[in-house]
Amino acid sequence: MATFRFLFTTSFYPPYHLGGDAIHVKCLAEELARKGNEVHILHSIDAYRVKRNNYKFLKQEHDPKNIFVHRIESPLKRIDPLLAHTLGSSFYVQKKFSEVLEEVHPDVVTIIIFLFWDIQFWKNKFLTFPYILLTTIG
């Protein structure tokens, strides 16, 4: 059976999440990994900080085999997602995404549409990418 390398981009991922979309991504990632695929998750701790004013470091669950979590944590902290929302882009998010893309070389990228990331950047980045899944949850 062929296996693939997936990259999920999403605002939230456990334990830094608010509910449904993050749990959906986690369950999907775990099932794909269980079937032998390599799954990478890129999510924003800064977006979580915006939603949770009483932010504190949360204990990270141990990620199952074949799941690798990459976190976006800008030096601007909570300001970065607000600037991205206001200005339409985030240099730091784009930089981190490019680094992970270069490191991982995924076969499939799933972009969960969310408020704080620059959609135009994703479109331009993937003009030659073979497998792109754009989705919304909720």
Q: Where are the domains of the chain?
A: 5-135
Record the pTM. 0.80
The pLDDT assigned to 47 comes to 79
Question: Which residues of the chain are modeled with pLDDT < 50?
Answer: 115-116, 138
- HSE of 121 in the Cβ direction (CA atoms, 13 Å)? 18
User: What CATH class does 5-135 carry?
Assistant: alpha beta
The pLDDT assigned to 108 comes to 85
The pLDDT assigned to 75 comes to 80
Share of the chain above pLDDT 90, in %: 18
**What does the block give as tokens for 77?**
């902290």
The pLDDT assigned to 115 comes to 46
User: Strand 38-44 to strand 5-9: parallel, antiparallel, or no bridges (unpaired)?
Assistant: parallel
Q: Which helix (H) or strand (E) holds 49?
A: helix 45-51
d(CA 97, CA 103): 10
Q: Which helix (H) or strand (E) holds 31?
A: helix 20-34
Which DSSP letter does residue 63 get? P
The pLDDT assigned to 35 comes to 94
Phi, psi values for residue 46, rounded to 5°:
-60, -40
